[in-house]
Amino acid sequence: MADDQHEEVSKKVSAEEEIRRGITVMRRVVQGRSRGIILDVCWNNQGQLIEPNGHTLTSFIGALVRNEIPITCDDWRNKELNESKEKIWSEIKRCFNIEEERRGFCMKLAGKLLRGFQTFLSSKFLKDADGNFVDAELPKKYESLISAEEWEAFKSKRQDPVFQRISATNRERASSPAYPYRKGRVGYGRLEQSMLQKEESSETSLPAHVLWKEARVGKSGVPQEEVLHVYQKCEELSQSLSPDDTKGILSRALDVPEYSGRVRGKGFGVTPTSLSIKKGKAPSNRELHARLEAMQAELDALRREREASASTVYRDASDKNSINCTFQPNIPEGISHCQLYLSSPYYRMVGKGKVHNVSGVLLHTRELPAGCLKVSVDIAVEPNAALPYPSDDSDATTVHEAVGSFVAWPTNLICVGYETPTKSKSKDNVIPQHTESTVSRKELQENEVSNASAQQKKEVSNASARVKSSGAKKTVARKKPTTKYRSCLRIFLEMTDIPTGGVRNVHMEVGIFGFDYDQMIGNEDFMQVFGHEEIGVNVVNTYIRFLYDKLMRPNDLDESFGFLAPATVNLGLILNRPDTVTEYILRILNDNKDAEKLFFIPFNTGGHWLLFAINPIREIVYYLDSLGNDWTTYPDMKVLIDTVLQAFRVQRDIQTSRRGANSITWIKVACPQQRNQIDCGYFMLRFMRDTLALGRLMIPTDYFEEFKCAFYTKDQVDEIKEEWCQFMIELNVFS
């Protein structure tokens, strides 16, 4: 109540004389009821009292509590109080238009007001200025509410050593709060209402951390630096965490112990139930054991599959149905156009593409089998021809299905340029003439002549073999790859506290974003990947850690590529704190100014992910947006990046003409386009992945020839998810 907000006026005046305001009895409400006036009560979406009449109802309940409940009450849940509670509720319904379902809230509020009244009496009348106990008489002001016996019993309980010990502990805990509340009796509900009305917003609620910050702004109108620091951390976390999460943004930013059922930054009356936040039922021991056995069986199957994949050897080309093609083509280093051949059931060209003869190259994050190179299939000459080595990470089993993707191909069946592997000229070696599946006779003759000298130099012997003239062997369709890592990770998580609010840390070393920190990851992040939802910054950052560990460092690409933290470079910070963003980018660029390097910036506009790739030495900015927008859509972003590159130019002491001072090159890349409102994050991750896979510092305007497509398929998006889940398992985040 308002009584406990009066301050001591003079030490010479007694506490009772000091309180000039009379006891609140809410005559206006009672008299209005006599005239037939019933007051309406309003509630917000979280079930909190708001205006009009929210303050009036609170004061009325306080007056009823003081009249009906003795101050000696220690347990509000005592059944002996049921009759008094019923009377309080009956009086509330007589004066206010209120639903029966609001009774629980009103009773909780009544208990809170009773405790406040007890604290007020104790601090004002039973303690001196130093906090020592004073044996005071019953204040005359409250003789109508408190009997002499109740007052003596109340004093006795307040002198009890157990009560004093608990009181001292609570007083110490509540003293000198780091972030004091500065809105008096307004409360979060009415504060939120006033903020929405002031902004003329159509929203019905505000994020918890926004309310929390405003509640700590005093009369000066300027929040403390510590409050702003927490708020800024919340803004960064808000890109990935749900504001309705009970262990969400504000709790994680404050990093303090919590108790079950608390919702920070929302105030009295808001619970996980009122926010419709459901907690999953804890599994029984029997269910846990069953899941553990299923998980172990799946892990064993994955292990056997991996071992079998690693030990698989291509069928010997000397099979009775094939040619012993021992020709080893001279494949130059780098990426070259090539023709792709098969030797069974007869020798023929089945496709065209590009071979990636690059040291340390991986196929879907795995090492290539012995005797193979990584190829991208561009054209299917024989669409139904079976792939020699179908990948476990792709559902492609035929050459046609592999168009636009990467597969492993035996080196002896790859021909660079227009060369064709030389075969034995045995009389039994008959080349069937099929319009689509074979090479023309003229092309074969020309290639055999050109390969004759190469064959002598390399001393390659070609044995003859009988080639059956039957058509290509039909392949058995393989099952599409299962979501094995996602399923496995989901089982792991269900056996931890993560689904109920627990978090884990993924270490991000300084080489990734230029600073060392632990990336928090929680249940919402895993659900985004499991349920194909829009991904947040936590998923993006941890996938970048995957790219750094699996693609960059093993191939020494960290000398040519870098990342900028999306939590530090985003549209929200550019609009609110551009100096912070500028300083961060300049620091990273200056730390790497001695060599040409391409920096990836995963950029979040508030509801959409896109990618910038900046080459600061050449002053080139590649813009990749899966929605097809132009960079002019975000003018503040373009201005900041231009400013940073110009400042970087000055620090490098590069002289330019006036005309060339603003000659920063912006290139809009015709990258694959998403076909829904969810995939932007996954597309953005693939853009970085594709670039790192090729190891090139220049991104073509029409995108890389090796990965060019109108859009990424569901399987290509799922590949990102599987890589992320596999990496989470490797990091053992569920432990």
Consecutive H or E run containing 166: helix 161-174
b/e per residue, 70-102, with b = 16+ CB within 10 A?
ebebeeeeeeebeebbeebbebbbebbebeeeb
| CA–CA separation, 596 and 615 (whole Å) | 7
Examine the pLDDT at 443 and tell me if it is beyond 70: no
Q: What is the mean pLDDT of the chain?
A: 77
User: How buried is residue 22: exposed, middle or buried, by Cβ count under 10 Å (0-12/13-18/19+)?
Assistant: exposed
Q: Is 96 helix (H, G, I), strand (E, B) or coil?
A: strand
Which residues make Cβ contacts (< 8 Å) with residue 19, sequence separation at least 6?
3, 6, 124, 141
Select the more confidently predicted residue: 658 or 63.
63
What's the whole-model pTM score? 0.41
Q: For Cα atoms 485, 365, 393, give the angle at the middle one, nearest 5 degrees.
A: 55
| CA–CA separation, 112 and 1 (whole Å) | 10
| CA–CA separation, 726 and 735 (whole Å) | 15
End-to-end CA distance of the chain: 48
Q: For the segment 96-142, what is each residue's pLDDT rounded down to a tens digit? A: 999 998 898 999 999 999 998 988 888 888 888 877 888 888 888 88
Q: Is 699 helix (H, G, I), strand (E, B) or coil?
A: coil
Q: For the segment 272-321, what is each residue's pLDDT rounded down to a tens digit? A: 666 655 444 555 666 666 766 777 777 677 666 655 654 443 333 333 33
| CA–CA separation, 234 and 214 (whole Å) | 14
Q: For the segment 163-188, what is each residue's pLDDT rounded down to a tens digit? A: 888 888 888 877 778 888 888 888 88
Section 239-254 average pLDDT: 63
Section 252-259 average pLDDT: 72
Section 696-700 average pLDDT: 92
Examine the pLDDT at 322 and tell me if it is beyond 50: no
DSSP 408: E
Q: Do 327 and 462 form a contact (C-beta atoms < 8 A)?
A: yes
pLDDT at 308: 61
- Residue 670: count of CB within 10 angstroms of its CB: 13
In whole angstroms, what separates CA 100 from the centre of its chain?
A: 41
DSSP calls for 599-667: EEEEEE-SS-EEEEEEETTTTEEEEE-TT---GGG-HHHHHHHHHHHHHHHHHTT----TTTTT--EEE
DSSP 482: P
Q: For the segment 624-671, what is each residue's pLDDT rounded down to a tens digit? A: 999 998 888 888 889 999 999 988 888 887 655 444 445 789 999 999
Q: Do 353 and 387 form a contact (C-beta atoms < 8 A)?
A: no
- Which tokens sit at 360? 């340390």
pLDDT at 356: 87
| CA–CA separation, 401 and 324 (whole Å) | 27
pLDDT at 345: 65
Q: Do 489 and 728 form a contact (C-beta atoms < 8 A)?
A: yes
